[in-house]
Every structure is written in C-alpha cells, then in structure tokens.
Amino acid sequence: MKTTAIAIFILITSGILSAQEYTDIQSKITKVTIFPDRAQLEREADINIAKGKFILRIPGLSPYANASSLQVKGEGNFMILSVKLHQNYLENAEESEAVKKIRKKIDDLKLKIEDEQTDIEILKEKEAFLSANKVIGGANEKITAQELASITEVYTANLEEIRIGILNKNRLINKYKDEKQKLQNQLQGALRLSRMPTSEVIISVSADQPTRALLTLSYLAGNAGWYPSYDIRVNDIEEDVNIIYKANVWQNTGIDWKKAILVFSDADPSESGTLPALHPNYLDFYEVRTKGLGTSARTMAKQPKAMDVAEQEAVTFEYDTEQEEASIPPVNLITNTRGFSFEVNIPQTVNSDGNNLVTELQRLSTDASYKYKTVPKLRKEAFLTADIPDWEALNLLNGEANIYFGNTFTGTSVINTTQISDTLNVSLGTDKGITIERERLKEFTSTRLIGLNKVETRSYRIRIRNNKSKDIDIDVYGQVPISRNKDIEVEATELSGGTMNKFSGEVKWQTSIAARDTQEFILSYTVKYPKNKKVLLE
C-alpha cells in the first residue's frame, strides 16, 4: 500500500555548504513492520533540493537503531552520494506522551497540595483568633452559669471543627505526597530512556538542477515486538469454531510511532541467509560422567512443564454476545516463501512506554470436530477439545487463548502450532454437565508377603456420568506405574478394555456415552518387590 507522506518543503540556497554544515530534514514515521523481537521503522521526507551538493541530516531516530540495517532510497532528479548513521549525544529523544502525562499529574498534585496547605493556614488563623478572644467579659462583669456553659459549648465546637479540619487536610496532603513520590519515581525511570542519545542519518546528495525529492529510509530497532493472542468462541459442539486473532504490540524504542501503518510479521530478520556448510563428523569413544548435571540436563531442568488438558484452569463469568460486535480495521494478509504478515490499513499510534496495544487482525470461522477428554487421577472434570483440520491455512502462531463456550468465558488455553500434525487440538475448558468420579476399591486393595517378596495390589473405579441431553464422545486417561528397577515388577491385571502404552504406562479408553447414561472402568495392577525395600505407591 502506498502511503502519502506529509509534505515538508525546505528551500536550500544555491550556496556551497561546507562539510560540517548540515541541513536538517524533518521526517515522519509512515510504516512500522513489527517482528516478534524487533521492528523495522520506515520514515519519509518530502523536500525541495536546490542545485549543488548538500549534506542533509535526518534527526530524531531511535537510539536502538541498527546501522547495518539502514536503507535510504530517493525519488527525484538527484543523486545520493553517501549515507551514514550515528548517535547524537547532544540531543535526546523527544519526550514521549507518557512522560508528558506523568509530568501533568505531578503538577496537578503540586497544586492540590498547595491548596490544602493554604486551607490549613486559614484554619490556623481562625484557631488563633478564637483563642485570642476566649476571655469572657470584663473583671467586674458577671455571667450566669447557663451563659458560661453556652459560650463554652460554642467555643469547644468551633475549636474541634477547626482541628479536625486541619487533621483531615494533613492526611490528604500526605496522600498527595505519596502519589507524587510514586509518579516521580516512575518519571525517573522514563527519563532514563529520554536522556539516551538519539540516532541520526547524514545523507550527502547532489543535484544538477533544483528538484523536488522524496527520501525514504528504513532501519531495524530493538526494544520492540509483538505476540499473538486469541479469543475462541464455540456456541455449540455441532457448529464451527470462531477464532478472533489479535496482535499485542509493545515498544520502548525511545520514539513514539505516531499514526503509522502497522505490519505484523512472523519473520525473524536475524536469521542468517547464508547456506550452512558441512564439516567432518569425527567419532570417538564416549566416557559417561555421572557426577553433576550436564549442560543439556540443566537446560532441560529449566524448561517449563507443558500443560496437559487436566491442568488448565476453568473460570466462569457471563459474556454478553447479544451486543453488536465492533468492526475490525481493514487488514491485508501478505504471504511469501519465508512467512506471512498482517498489514493494518488504518494508521495507529504506539507510544514508547512498553504498554501493550491490542489490535484485532482476523475473525476466522473453521470446521472442527469435538471430543471430551478427562484425566480423573489429576482432575475429576471433563474437558471439551476441538480438533481443527488444515490449521496451517489459518496462519496461526503460538499464543494464549481466551475460551468462550456459548455466552460464558470458561478459562484460558494455549494454541501450540509446533505440533507436527495436520490437526490442531485446542482445549475449550471444562463442562459441568459431565460428572467424573475416581475411587480406590478397598476390597481389591491388598498387601501380601510371598517368600522374599512383597506384593501390593491397587484397584480403582472410574465412573463417568453424562448429564447432558446429547450423546458424547470421550477419551478417558488412566495410569499404571512403570518400573525402572529390575527388582520391581509391575503387572496390569484389569484395564476394562482400555489400551496401555507400555513405555509410559498411560491407559486410554475411547468411548461414547449416551445422554443421561453412566459408564464405569476398572483399573487394577500389582507391584512385586523385595520385602526389605520400600516402594511408594499412590
């Protein structure tokens, strides 16, 4: 999309400028391409160039500008002789709107504190006046006890009102001072960025005759990025899944992006474009080291545990879907061999304050097959899942999703696009219309001594009740422990038709349950081990 820049006309005299004289060119950010961990900023300047050679300066660039990524293009009857980007330590980045708002709040609090202090001074004057005139009558005057009581009551009431007023105003002043101090601390953090040197581009140009020129420059800057999030809505398990695709953008580049076209890209500009070369692969004997954790083990230990279906939290509150939804800005989807990007065609402002700006990119509706899953050992709840076929065509990325079933928000889930499958599985939260029970069968639980060994038996019953008015398909997951010691023998004695993975011990039942019906599964196993040892079972 071609964006028309704000025209800035600068008349340059035909005199020859020395190598140290710059002509400042004002430019405007017109487009920002945001990557997951950086951004490419594009600026335009529309100028008039006189005949001769000149050195132009475009100031006010991000202090995090990457010099090697700088590109400058020109349109017009002139020649670009050289381009250089460097930092200017004499000029700081323009004060952001966020900083200006903080300053305004601090100034407002200062005025409030001054007003309260003035009121306190007035109250103290009233108190002094009241105290100075508290002598009742002259030396020869007599007053009755009733008159004395009445005067004393008025004096006491006025004095109490004044002192309570002073106390309340001092408390209010302390509150304002606390708020002011917090804002000043916040301001100091923001000013550290604004005091950073700005970057600027020095461009040497030559023209044989006066001409109008359009300069376009672009560069990569750090301290910016975006990540996706989703709203997934399902009205009924017989209908399509509706997905609202959103971009969360943030930036601390030191420069506000004012009314710029935003492009959200999944590409990695740091990825090398050089073809890798193979090197000899030498073999040698490998010596196993048993002390301490190796690098790979330490790395694996730091990885967060993947969330399974049963570990997703379910939260419930009502969401009104009767209201008409606001329309989304026009967005172009651009695909190429290296990835895809979304171009939002309405200019937006993103301040350099690190706060998230959420932009809706797409509203998608896609086929899905629905199934319930449950892991009663971990959570006695049934989770509804959706299998989305051909999900690659949706251009989804890894991200969190808010789940809505009908008119109810049921919790959050995760879209994981790293799975190697033609079908994307998404958890849609729990369904209270399905009751899950898991109990140990005490009559089949025993411990016996056989020779030098101890044999323990465990047995569990899983009961699933479909309280819904429709039949459901559900996968039920159980578990048999796995031995890693040759002296510990585990045998599954009852699986009620379930299939067990002998490597992981996972037991799976795939079944359909009619409306208002109940099904049960029995899982039993025995563990044999030396009687002088101890094994912890569930």
Q: Is 456 exposed, middle or buried (0-12, 13-18, 19+ CB in 10 A)?
A: middle
* 434 pLDDT higher than 70: yes
Three-class DSSP category at 176: helix
Mean pLDDT within 319-342? 68
Q: How far apart are CA 49 and CA 391, in angstroms?
A: 52
Q: What is the pLDDT of residue 422?
A: 77
Q: How far apart are CA 219 and CA 58, in angstroms?
A: 13
Q: What is the pLDDT of residue 198?
A: 77
Question: Pick from 231, 398, 424, 413: which is nearest to 328 by CA?
Answer: 231
Q: Give the long-range contacts of residues 330-333, CB within 8 A, separation 24 or more.
A: 331/361, 331/362, 332/1, 333/362, 333/395
Q: What is the pLDDT of residue 283?
A: 52
Question: Pick from 78, 62, 66, 54: which is nearest to 27 by CA?
Answer: 62
> Quick one: pLDDT band at residue 96, thresholds 50, 70, 90?
low
Three-class DSSP category at 310: helix
Q: What is the pLDDT of residue 275?
A: 66
* 302 pLDDT higher than 50: no
* 272 pLDDT higher than 80: no
Mean pLDDT within 187-211? 79
Going by DSSP bridges, is the β-strand pair 23-24/28-35 parallel, antiparallel, or unpaired? unpaired
Q: What is the pLDDT of residue 56?
A: 92
> Quick one: pLDDT band at residue 228, thresholds 50, 70, 90?
very high
With vertex at residue 145, the alpha carbon angle to CA 141 and CA 151, rounded to the nearest 5 degrees, is: 80
Q: What is the pLDDT of residue 208?
A: 92
Three-class DSSP category at 250: strand
Mean pLDDT within 197-217? 90
Tell me the per-residue pLDDT of 481-537, one tens digit each, with 9 for 90 and over. Answer: 999 888 999 999 999 999 999 889 999 999 999 999 999 999 999 999 998 888 888
> Quick one: pLDDT band at residue 391, thresholds 50, 70, 90?
confident
Tokens of 189: 């953090």
Tell me the per-residue pLDDT of 121-172, one tens digit each, with 9 for 90 and over. Answer: 888 888 888 777 665 544 445 667 776 677 777 777 888 888 888 899 899 9
Q: What is the pLDDT of residue 217?
A: 93
Least confident of 107-116, 221-230, 332-341: 332-341
Three-class DSSP category at 396: coil
> Quick one: pLDDT band at residue 219, thresholds 50, 70, 90?
very high
Q: What is the pLDDT of residue 537?
A: 83
Q: How far apart are CA 422 and CA 427, in angstroms?
A: 17
Q: How far apart are CA 1 and CA 330, in angstroms?
A: 12
Tell me the per-residue pLDDT of 437-449, one tens digit each, with 9 for 90 and over. Answer: 999 998 888 889 9
Q: What is the pLDDT of residue 89?
A: 60
What are 79's strand-pairing partners? 206
Question: Pick from 48, 67, 64: which is nearest to 56 by CA?
Answer: 48
Q: How far apart are CA 449 and CA 151, in angstroms?
A: 98
* Most confident stretch, 197-201, 395-399, 457-461: 457-461
At residue 440, φ and ψ (nearest 5 deg) are -80, 135
Q: What is the pLDDT of residue 388?
A: 87
242 vs 237, which has greater pLDDT? 242
Q: How far apart are CA 78 and CA 209, in angstroms?
A: 8
Mean pLDDT of the chain: 80
Q: What is the pLDDT of residue 251?
A: 92
> Quick one: pLDDT band at residue 325, thresholds 50, 70, 90?
low
* 6 pLDDT higher than 90: no
Mean pLDDT within 191-195? 59
User: Which residues contact residue 219 at a Cβ distance below 8 angstroms, ignoring those fewer than 6 apart?
Assistant: 40, 41, 61, 62, 65, 66, 67, 69, 70, 71, 85
Give me the percent of the chain exceeding a pLDDT of 90.
38
Mean pLDDT within 7-26? 49
DSSP letter at 124? H
At residue 209, φ and ψ (nearest 5 deg) are -155, 160
Cα-based distances in Å from 331 to 346, 366, 498: 9, 19, 49
Q: What is the pLDDT of residue 260?
A: 94
* 273 pLDDT higher than 70: no
Tokens of 489: 């023998």
Mean pLDDT within 88-95? 60
> Quick one: pLDDT band at residue 250, thresholds 50, 70, 90?
very high
* 384 pLDDT higher than 50: yes
Asked if 348 and 262 touch (Cβ cutoff 8 Å), the reply is: yes
* 288 pLDDT higher than 60: no
